[in-house]
Structure 1
Amino acid sequence: MIYPEYVKKGNVIGITAPSEGNKKETDFTRLNNGKEQLRKRGYEVIETAHVRTSNKGRSTDAGTRTKELAELINNDNVKWIISAKGGDFLLEMLPLMDFNHIKANPKWIQGYSDNTGLTYTITTHCDIATLYGCNFNDFGMEVWHKAMEDNLQLVEGDINTVHSFDQYEDGFYDRITGLEGYQLEKPVCWRNLQGEDEISMTGRLLGGCLDVLLHMVGTRFDRTKEFIEKYKENGILWYLESFALDSEAITLGLWQLKEAGWFQYTKGFIFGRPAFFNPNYDISYDEAVLSVLEEFHVPIILDADIGHKLPQMTIVNGAMAKIHSKDGKGTVSYDFI
């Protein structure tokens, strides 16, 4: 596994928009303040040409998005690339990407949701660790949440453990100024699905947004089986979260990944809080997950600080990790081997 070098004061952080771009004035305010926040902490921040454009759910066409990502890959001064936004159409870039070139120029690449299309494929194609964490605009809140401080300290190499938070934002809210923090309204409570008092599991992390992974499985960009075969001695800890999958979609989606052989060497699962979920057919989220994954006889954690219901921990995709869950709280500790 290739781990990009830690970032240092004076390095350049690059923002690009491989999915949707910013389009609202509040987005621009947040983007500008995020750049200023990181500049105050010693970093230069640059952005590619279409971070502030949007057309039919895309920042620009797939070819241009691919070229703009390549601009940052080719810039030796850029050590950390952060996606501007999520969205729906990032996968259009995959046929145009040069994974060999990315592997030859490893640097931290970060984003979540639709950016699974980058983080997952780069890790499984290139053996480069990537960051499943906030998109850039979260750095633009006026007073940083601890999630942002942890994110930066992790990439700087100052910490190797991230902790669950106290509260989370349960809904999605329009911003007035663009500088708002998270609207923390419910207590964080990790749940050990099969009733364990405590879970401690170790393995190599792999995962992302389930909505996106279900579009990728079985395509020519799916290198999952090769990846898990290479790291089978470590075992795989799957981290997954969903945006808009209901009970039948969760059930059948996990079934599809199971039957595709993705979970062959699993040592455990950790799920983020689902963004939108309807218990169709009177099937709860717990029942949907357990109906497919119970047969693996491994620990399963639900409602972790991963994904769309913010704040979220920064997950190092491809890294060895120990996950601990007890009394509704949890930690992820990394070992970069």
Structure 2
Amino acid sequence: MITYPILHKQDQISVTAVSSGVPPELHFLLKEAKEKLERDGYQVDIDDTAWTHKELQAAPASERAKALHVHLDKQPGVVIPPWGGHRLISMLEHIDFARIPHTWLLGYSDTSVLLLAVTLRTGIATAHGTNFVDLRGSTTDSTTAMWERVLMTPNGKTVSQRSSEHFQPEWQFDNPTPHIFHLTEPTEWKSIGGSSVQGRLLGGCIDVIHHLVGTPYGDVAAFQRDKLGGKSILWYFENCDMNTSDVWRSLQQMKLAGWFDHISGIMFGRSSANQAVEDLTIELVYEELASELQVPVLYDIDCGHMPPQVTLINGAFADVTVENGKGIIVQEFRE
């Protein structure tokens, strides 16, 4: 059974760095996001980890886990790390999963290691979507803004999201816009082997979550059996900086570990990585995967490091359709 937290306006938003903190020269990003969300009616609590960064982490693993538990014990509406990073996986062994309350965890990139582990271990839904620093600015684009509506969806209800009109090809921190992103390129969702797919969502940043294979935090078979009653999984992945050979090897590792047993399909976010190794293009990787697994593969969806992105709920039932380059994702918060 999957259980879903629920967010309310005026809830507290807790910000703790589960991976990388924010260096001093970028502290203004935290301050601007805090001011924006407080104007929107939330209470924002940012702890010390968010303001520190050394050796690719905000603090040692045990300290990051302790800080996370301090926030979770207060049961805020949502915990949102400032952003991702590199070294989150080291804190998993310091987390008491039995103590995790029904509180939303939201983020992407390295944060998705925590999100996936929590859902697999506890059955509590987690949210793959925006990071805290991307919620600053005087306005929010319509795709990113859906994070609130999704997290406010009651148990048993549905929420629908549509693909964006345009996406951001590169980051420009020194050239801010009212809605943060530079959405200049037309969005086009694509599909192989079918344009419609349904299943229970699981996923994250492929660079980091494939490292959960074979660990106590990546037991997909037990989750599917005990929490989903054997229902099909619809995987989604986004790629930060892996080339096509790296992506292919990671997918093969997941397949051999049984992560792709009884799946209904796979979705991939667009990526500025995906660099071809010789003549192995990312499209060929997707085509081989669709043929090998005999499931639809949808790609270039709004997910990951080329914003904006939809908010995908680990554990929720999703019905996804791609037609004429546009996509619709309907998520139902089924137990």
Distance in 2 between residues matched to 1:55 and 1:250, nearest whole Å: 29
SS at structure 2 position matched to 1:147: coil
**TM-score of the aligned structures, taking structure 1 as reference length:** 0.93
**1:278 paired to 2:284:** no
Q: 1:322 is matched with which residue?
A: 319
2:297 maps to 1:300 = yes
- Offset of residue 180 of structure 1: 6.1
Q: In the alignment, which residue of structure 2 is the partner of 1:234?
A: 231
Distance, in Å, in 1 between the alignment partners of 2:137 and 2:182 is 12
Shift in Å, 1:59: 0.8
CA RMSD of aligned residues (A): 1.7
Q: CA deviation at 1:109?
A: 0.3
The verdict on how the C-alpha distance between 1:17 and 1:179 changes in structure 2, with shifts beyond 3 A counting, is farther
1:289 aligned onto 2:280: no
What is the match of residue 17 of structure 2?
17
Q: From the superposition, tell whether residues 183 and 23 of structure 1 become closer, same or farther in structure 2 (CA, over 3 Å).
A: same
Partner of residue 31, structure 1: 30
- State how far apart, in whole Å, the 2-side matches of 1:261 and 1:169 are: 34
**227-236 vs 204-213, greater mean Cα deviation:** 227-236
Which residue is 1:313 aligned to? 310
Aligned partners of 2:84, 2:48: CA distance in 1, in Å?
17
Specify the alignment match of 2:91 in structure 1: 93
Distance in 2 separating the partners of 1:147 and 1:166: 9
Q: Deviations over 1:88-140 (max 9, x none)?
A: 000010111101111xx111001101011110000000001000011100001
SS of corresponding position for 1:116 = helix
What are the within-5 Å matches in structure 2 for residues 30-69 of structure 1?
Answer: 30-69=29-68
Unaligned runs of 5+ in 2: none
**Cα deviation code 1:255-299 (max 9, x no counterpart):** 111111110010011110123121112111011122234222111
Question: What per-residue deviation string (whole Å, max 9, x for no partner) do you get for residues 213-269 of structure 1?
Answer: 221111232211211233254211011111111121111111111111110010011
1:140-289 correspondence to structure 2 within 5 Å: 140-157=136-153, 160-176=159-175, 181-194=180-193, 196=194, 199-230=195-226, 231=228, 233-289=230-286
The amino acid that maps onto 2:268 is: F
Letter matched to residue 89 of structure 1: R
Instruction: Give 4+ residue runs of structure 1 displaced > 6 Å after superposition.
Output: none
Task: Work out the percentage of aligned pairs sharing the same amino acid.
Answer: 30
Q: Secondary structure at the residue paired with 1:160?
A: strand
Secondary structure of the structure 2 residue equivalent to 1:38: helix
Length, aligned pairs only: 330
Structure 1, unpaired ranges of 5+: none
